[in-house]
Amino acid sequence: MSEPTTEPTRVLGPDGALPTGESKHRAVQAMFDRLAPSYERMNRVISLGQDRRWRRHAVESLSLPLGSLVLDLACGTADLCRDLDAYGQRAIGLDFSEGMLHNARTDAPLVRGDAASLPFPDGSIDGIICGFALRNFVDLGTVFRECARVLRPGGRLAALDAAVPEHAIMRAGNAVWFRGAVPLLGRMLARDGEAYSYLPRSTAYLPPSTTLLETMHTAGFGGSARRTFTGGSVQLLTGTRV
């Protein structure tokens, strides 16, 4: 008798719709658990190797003294933890995906937890960095408020994520690559075309840049700013805890 098979939790609905609310939380967690073994390699491929440069900009934008305690929020397999260590910072990683933490390559302490309810005392962190995870959170306002709570006054936040270029030609090229080529590469290299269809489409979760900056300000961040890279396809949000 054949063994029963278990279908993976789908991250897209039958009609291709993006999940919302608690169903989004469950589906995205399950997706990252199964993507974890090949996640870093795929990041290099789909970013054409540019992810290293984007992460370097994010770490440098923190502008914190050496030895500062920096939380890598939604750390995945801990790329940014390693970058922080190389810059002389003390990293700690947090992710809700057990699979990602299991595949992380870092000497930094790692914590399994939820960005909407951080397991750290008020004012205990010097900086927070987040790489391409804002669109995967269910409630960005709650996450930004939690970041503000655990940061000390003067602490810094830097968050990288995808963006849609404003220039028409760059926007068309971005669509061809991320909505056309990336799902195909996901099917070929990671054997998960659905997940790599979700990831480009998930930029739809992100509000306009003015709303993002206003949400940060309301949460307790001053001097919030936004920079873009690679023709506007990547954005870096920064702010200082007031």
Amino acid of residue 63: S
Specify the pairing of strand 151-162 against strand 234-241.
Answer: antiparallel
pLDDT of residue 16: 79
Which strands form 69-73's sheet, in the order they lie side by side?
A: 110-112, 90-95, 69-73, 125-131, 151-162, 234-241, 221-229
8 Å CB contact between 236 and 229? yes
Class of domain 39-164+203-241: alpha beta
Per-residue pLDDT of the chain (242 residues; tens, 9 = 90+): 333 334 456 788 877 789 999 999 999 999 999 999 999 999 999 999 999 999 999 999 999 999 999 999 999 999 999 999 999 999 999 999 999 999 999 999 999 999 999 999 999 999 999 999 999 999 999 999 999 999 999 999 999 999 999 999 999 999 999 889 999 999 999 999 899 999 989 999 999 999 999 999 999 999 999 999 999 999 999 999 99
pLDDT of residue 223: 97
Task: Write out the H or E segment, with its range, that includes residue 226.
Answer: strand 221-229
pLDDT of residue 164: 92
Can you give the residue ranges of every domain in the chain? Answer: 39-164+203-241
pLDDT of residue 151: 98
Q: What is the dihedral of CA 157, 242, 95, 131, to 10 degrees?
A: -20
pLDDT of residue 225: 98
8 Å CB contact between 183 and 177? no
8 Å CB contact between 54 and 79? no
